[in-house]
Structure 1
Amino acid sequence: MKSEAVFSYHERTKHRPERSAPAPETMDWANQPEPFRFYRGAEVTRFDPEPDACGLSALELFAGPPPSPAPVTTENLGRLLRYSLGLAAWKSYQGATWALRVNPSSGNLHPLEAYVLMPEKKGFSVSHYSPFLHGLEALHTLDGENTHDTVQGVPLILTAIHWREAWKYGERAFRYTHLDMGHALSCLTFAARMLGWSVQIMDGIGSDTLTRLLNLDQVSWPGWEEEKPICLLWIGPKPPESGLTARLEASVPSPCCTSPNALSANHRTWDAIDTVDEATEFPSHWAFAGLPPAPMAPRPPLVSAPEWPSGKATAESLLLKRRSAQGYIKETSRISLSHFKGILKSLMPGNPPFALLRQPSAIDLLFYVHNVEGLPSGLYLLVRTQKKARLMADLQRPFLWEEAVDDVPFYFLEPGDMRRLARLVSCNQEIAGDGAFALSMLADFEMTIQNTHYQYPLLHWEAGMIGQSLYLAAEMAGLAGTGIGCFFDDLIHEHIGLEFKAHQVLYNFTVGVPVRDARITTLPAYAHVDKL
């Protein structure tokens, strides 16, 4: 059964104190994958890398009514991509340079690619988005008719190249790829909000159809560099027209006239990734678990006072500012209760980006509180799933379950200094204990996967969305976050008394005052484009 393949993969790829998940023993630097995909022979349409500001403040990304919808134009599409999947900056140290993107990625390896289907009078034109060029590489067309005289929105397909992550992380790369998918979905949602647009995941269209629409089955490339389509999105000010997926399924792509660049000369095969990828492919006419598409709605206020340190900054500057902290200043890593409460509110289901999944939330958050003003240090739980009674039964420990914060289902479980525990369960990484707080994302796992095998990636998407919301909320509070993909799954389960596999941790995260490395120089994101 496909669900059994998922359970087997998840168990096999757990890190344990006595051994890590299967991964390369050394870094094969000669075969490090190229971080950017290019298509030889493609005509490139470049966007303006520094578009005018939309007028939205950073705080308005999180609270208040959405702005009036902007028209769907090439300029606004470029703005959306610039502040979701584009480059944020370049870094330089001792002659080495590397790019940072707006969307976070495990190890800065970026396994995702994006393809835009621009509506035309006859069907769609298919283009690959190049973050390096901040432009569209024209690939081919899809025949068909459009039913609207004006463009109502744009379909966008996200794909994955597992090899980019597997080069470093081995079998666990499938997990990290789908966490990155959640990061990207969150980034697209926040960037769309700047334009008064919304993002919708289009269920009802399978992986095989998306492969055909992108001509990925016609490309001759090494097997390990194969791209796998993940999902189809609709992005724009209005909902997609009725019958869009059926029209796409009936579309016929024109022949390939371009070819992608090679990413590595050699590779190492990880059969476990291929097995779980095949087991979790979206079938034709798949569907979410029952909630209708959520309209864009006003976001609840975070907190009224004190002022958020980055609240008056522009929305664009906040999205470009996000960084993964490399270390924290333990002595000053603290957060006010007001800002902490605002972060908790921003993580609750129903808000963008979480409404994107159109099904009940499956992830609760276990907090290791180190230094939150007004809260005792200890272990806490933010109940996002509305399943408190079940959690109380499943967590086989005599926890306190005391309400800790007004207006938020945040419960004090046990007092104590959790710094050592946070470090220990995060593969002994100091950063987990040096911040203001850390957390583990606890998924309603067994029941979810048994019911629908392709929910395994969706659980990671939700975890990645939570991660990106934490990144931005931390920046709003004058702090910085970092995702922790290396953790000892079962040590966390053991500490909270989980005796069964009903719940599983999918992602750890931590927030604090970052250490700034003055030796590293920050360079503009797109100064290189003028030299090409």
Structure 2
Amino acid sequence: MSDTPQNPLRTYHAQTKHHYDAYAEGPGQLDWDAQPAPFRHYPGAPRLELPLTAERFDRPYGQLPEKPQNPVAADLVSLGALLELSLAISAWKSWGPNRWALRCNPSSGNLHPVEAWVLTGGLPGVTDGVHHYDPEQHALEGRALTAPSGEGPWLAIALSSAMWREAWKYGERAFRYCQLDVGHAVGALAYAAALLGWEARPRTITGDDLGYLLGLDRPDDFPPSRYSFTENEEAEILLTLHGPGLSTMPPVEHLRQRLAGVIWQGSPSRIDPAPGYRWPVIDQAAAASRFLRSTAENPLFSPLPPLAPHPTSASTAKLIRQRRSGQRFNPNSSLPSAGFYRMLDALLPRPQAPFTAQEACPRIHLLLFVLRVDDLSPGLYLLPRTPAAASDLPAAMRPHFPELRRVEHAPPQLGLIQLAEFGLQALQRLARSLSCHQDIASNSAFSLGMLGEFDEATRDGYGYRELLREAGLVGQSLYLEAEAAGVRGTGIGCFFDDPVHEACGLAGTRWQSVYHFTVGTPITDSRIETSPPYPQRRQEQKLR
């Protein structure tokens, strides 16, 4: 696949790069009073409130097992916990008259393009069929309810993207961010499933089939119009839940037959009735990358020693709910090297949550800007995440960094490589400038760029989505590992693409930076107030 009009995804990626002298096309200015609606509802659809029961299944984060253990029964209660700890509101924030929701799953700019759907049969307490998940009320909206089939229980979660929520702020680069957010959400679901003793795995399905199952191709609900691009949702991925007591999801053709005569209930609320901009390249990228394969690539994991239990005693639910994107970091704080190595070890692709939920073989590797890690010199480091990359990436960088060396006191399974040693101030300037001049990349303990095997991943269109989603999945793991270590992470979507490649000696398109991230000691803004999610619901539960 080459950068030609006949291969639009590589063209899209090149077109949406940021450069020192020009950013990718975007709105230029924002009217925050006209922000797209952060929640979609289906008025008229029957509603089913989900219980808030996550604490019932909680355990220390350090006790999450390598393989699912002690599975809980699949029913309305456990479904509520799954969604509560993955896609629900985690807190409300307020500053003066402004109030906004935070969610368990991260999102670029807190814009949350990802919508979630529950497909189920035979699950106690839940009607068979297709339900939209409403995170604002932690409830299901029954879109296409079917008669009991007598099978199951089986359970699947689908994700879609309302891409205009991202495009409104980020312009043409929004397709990238939507895929990163899908990866974050997949990771959030994988961790919540592991807490219940389940496993979330991707299900092979074409984009057309998934759109049909979710009702996203219904012209009565999403009629074509001048502004229809703001309301459209892109069918993204289907995850099935596995564990003792959970049956296999029926074949897709069987589900299509069941939905053929069903009355769809409710109508989608509007996201933005009057947009001021449009970027057709986003729709073109979506069309060029839809899943048309008949089979999926099964991820392969190289042998690694088991990930050691995390030493924290903090509960998994607490860490999931307190996860935030750090806004400012303390440049006078450092990170112990043991905590740093633990984070990196957790990012290696093992056959456990969250990486068993990814769709393709691992193709993301880490270029690290180590700024303030105890016992480690400031400098550029490389963490290849597969044996092949451990050979190929250093070879590609060696002309630029002739004195590559392994970090001997790092755990051997990391294969951590020091590319070059820097003075702290020089490294700060480099990290800040490459991440769109943002201080969060230079005042932290470390920041990183995720280098993707771009040419290999984009041999077909869907591979581009898979690559970006894997980056989001790695980011979600890093978010939780940072919280467990007592620090905080932040995803960075704005970076200067080709200058990153030049800084580490990479030419051509074989490797491309697709996401940046930073971890450090947060500085909290005391002016912002925090309140718990669903306060009325929790009070009602106490009174029952």
Q: TM-score, normalised by structure 1?
A: 0.92
Report the CA distance shift for 1:364/1:523 in structure 2 as closer, same or farther (over 3 A).
same
Q: Aligned partners of 1:51 and 1:439: how far apart in 2?
A: 33
Write the deviation string for residues 346-392 of structure 1: whole angstroms up to 9, x where unpaired: 00012421222253210110100011111111110111022222112
Q: Could you tell me which residue of structure 1 aligns to residue 140 of structure 2? A: 136
Change (3 A) 1:358 1:105: closer
Residue type of the alignment partner of 2:96:
Q
| 1:59 Cα offset (Å) | 1.2
- Percent of aligned positions that are identical: 37
Whether 1:301 aligns to 2:308 is yes
Of 134-143 and 412-421, the range deviating more from structure 2: 134-143
Structure 1 residues 286 and 195, CA gap change in structure 2 (3 angstroms): same
Q: Is the Cα–Cα contact under 8 Å of residues 164 and 229 in structure 2 kept in the other structure?
A: no
Structure 2 distance, partners of 1:399, 1:385, is 22
1:217 positional shift: 1.8
- In structure 2, C-alpha distance between the alignment counterparts of 1:243 and 1:320, rounded to whole Å: 33
Matches of 1:374 and 1:495, distance apart in 2: 24
| Paired position in structure 2 for 1:429 | 438
Q: What does the per-residue CA deviation read over 1:201-234, in whole Å, with 9 as the maximum and x for residues that have no partner?
A: 001x111111111222221353321111101110
Question: Structure 1 residue 403: deviation in Å?
Answer: 1.6
Contact 2:94 2:528 in 1 (8 A): yes
Change (3 A) 1:144 1:454: farther
Alignment-derived partner of residue 216 in structure 1:
216
Once the two structures are TM-superposed, the CA of residue 521 in structure 1 deviates from its matched residue by 0.5
CA contact (8 A) 1:53 1:316 kept: no
Note the alpha carbon deviations across 1:217-263, whole angstroms, 9 max, x for none: 22135332111110111013157527533433444341223101111
DSSP-derived class of the 1:39 partner: coil
- Aligned position for 1:345: 345
Equivalence for 2:478 = 470
The structure-2 alpha-carbon separation of the partners of 1:208 and 1:47, relative to structure 1 and needing over 3 Å to count, comes to: same
Structure 1 residues 357 and 50: CA distance shift in structure 2, 3 A? closer
Aligned to 2:329: 328
> What is the CA deviation profile of residues 143-175 of structure 1, one whole-angstrom value per residue up to 9, with x for unaligned ones?
784544xx1x30111111100000000010000
Quote how far apart the aligned CAs of 1:401 are: 2.6
What is the DSSP-based 3-state SS (H/G/I as helix, E as strand, rest coil) of the residue aligned with 1:217?
coil
Identify the match of residue 24 of structure 1 among 17, 23, 27. 27
Residue 272 of structure 1 aligns with which residue? 281
Q: Structure 1's 398 and 32: CA in aligned 2 closer, same or farther, altered over 3 A? A: same
Q: Report if aligned partners of 2:166, 2:177 keep a CA contact under 8 Å in 1.
A: yes
1:71 and 2:73 matched: yes
Structure-1 residue corresponding to 2:17: 14
Name the residue aligned to 2:106. Answer: 104
Distance 1:360 1:93 in 2: 43
1:216 alignment partner AA: L
* Alpha-carbon distance in 2 for matches of 1:182, 1:531: 33
Counterpart for residue 438 of structure 1: 447
Query: Hey, what's the Cα distance between the residues in 1 that align with 2:116 and 2:27?
Result: 28
Q: 1:393 to 1:69 in 2, by over 3 A?
A: same
Contact 1:399 1:414 in 2 (8 A): no
> Does the aligned pair in 2 maintain the 1:288–1:357 contact within 8 Å?
no
Q: 2-side partners of 1:242 and 1:18: how far apart?
A: 51
The amino acid that maps onto 2:10 is F
Contact 2:54–2:317 (Cα < 8 Å) also in 1: no
Q: Please identify, of 372-381 and 114-123, the stretch whose mean Cα deviation from structure 2 is larger.
A: 114-123
- In structure 1, distance between residues paired with 2:321 and 2:477: 14
Aligned to 2:251: 244
**Native 8 Å contact 2:117 2:132 kept in 1:** yes
Q: Give the Å deviation of 1:271.
A: 0.5
Structure 1 residues 15-61: Cα deviation after superposition (integer angstroms, max 9, x where no partner) = 11101100001103343111011111122111223543314102123
What are the ranges of 5 or more consecutive residues in structure 1 without an aligned counterpart? none
Q: 1:215 to 1:398 in 2, by over 3 A?
A: closer
1:220 partner letter:
F
Cα displacement string for residues 408-435 of structure 1 (whole angstroms, at most 9, x for unaligned residues): 2111111013211110100000110001
Instruction: Give the conservation status (yes or no) of the 8 Å contact 1:201–1:234.
Output: yes
Distance between the aligned counterparts of 2:504 and 2:305, measured in 1? 36
SS of the aligned residue for 2:431 comes to helix
In structure 2, distance between residues paired with 1:378 and 1:129? 45
For the aligned residue pairs, the C-alpha RMSD in angstroms reads 2.4
CA distance in 1, matches of 2:149, 2:48: 24
Letter in 2 for 1:352: A
Paired residue type of 2:411: D
Please state if 1:259 is matched with 2:267.
Answer: yes
Report the Cα offset of residue 117 of structure 1.
1.1
Alpha-carbon distance change, 443 to 3 in structure 1, aligned in 2, over 3 angstroms: farther
CA distance in structure 2 between the aligned counterparts of 1:22 and 1:266, rounded to whole angstroms: 20
- Paired residue for 2:418? 412
Shift of 1:67: 3.0
Partners of 2:299 and 2:85 in 1: CA distance = 31
Q: How big is the shift at 1:4?
A: 1.4
Counterpart contact for 2:88–2:138, Cα < 8 Å: yes
Whether the 8 Å CA contact 1:370–1:433 is kept in 2: the answer is: yes
Do structure 1's residue 283 and structure 2's residue 285 form an aligned pair?
Answer: no
Q: 2:235 aligns with which of 229, 236, 248?
A: 229
2:259 aligned counterpart, secondary structure: coil
Equivalent AA in structure 2 for residue 93 of structure 1: W
Is this contact kept in 2: 1:144–1:251, CA < 8 A? no
Match of 2:203 in 1: 202
1:514 to 522, 534, 538: 522
In structure 1, the residue matched to 2:50 is 47
Q: Residue type matched to 1:248 in 2?
A: L
Q: Call closer, same or farther: CA 1:379–1:240 in 2, change over 3 Å.
A: farther
- How many residue pairs match? The answer is 516
TM-score, structure 2 normalization: 0.90
Query: In structure 2, what is the Cα distance between the partners aligned to 1:489 and 1:389?
Result: 23
Of the three residues 93, 114, 117, the one matched with 1:115 is 117
- CA pair 320-425 structure 1, distance change in 2 beyond 3 A: same
Instruction: Output the CA distance in 1 between the equivalents of 2:474 and 2:538.
Output: 36
Q: Any conservation in 2 of the 1:302–1:345 contact (CA below 8 Å)? A: no
After TM superposition, give the deviation of residue 455 of structure 1 in Å.
0.5
Task: Name which of structure 1's ranges 78-87 and 249-258 shifts more when overlaid on structure 2.
Answer: 249-258
For the structure 1 residues 36 and 235, does the alpha-carbon distance in structure 2 shift closer, same or farther, using more than 3 Å as the test? same
**1:125 and 2:126 equivalent?**
no
1:502 lines up with 2:524 in the alignment:
no
Between the aligned partners of 2:120 and 2:532, the Cα distance in structure 1 is 29
The equivalent of 2:400 in structure 1 is 397
The aligned residue for residue 171 of structure 1 is 172
Distance in 2 between the 1:77 and 1:214 partners?
Answer: 19
Q: Secondary structure at the match of 1:497?
A: coil
Residue pairs, 1:75-94, within 5 angstroms: 75-94=77-96
Q: Hey, what's the Cα distance between the residues in 2 that align with 1:60 and 1:244?
A: 35
Give, in angstroms, the shift of residue 283 of structure 1.
1.1
Deviating more after overlay: 474-483 vs 396-405: 396-405
Alignment-mate amino acid for residue 414 of structure 1: A
Give per-residue Cα distances to partners, 1:449-468, cap 9 Å, x unaligned.
Answer: 12x22100110110001111
Q: Distance in 1 between matches of 2:372 and 2:55?
A: 39
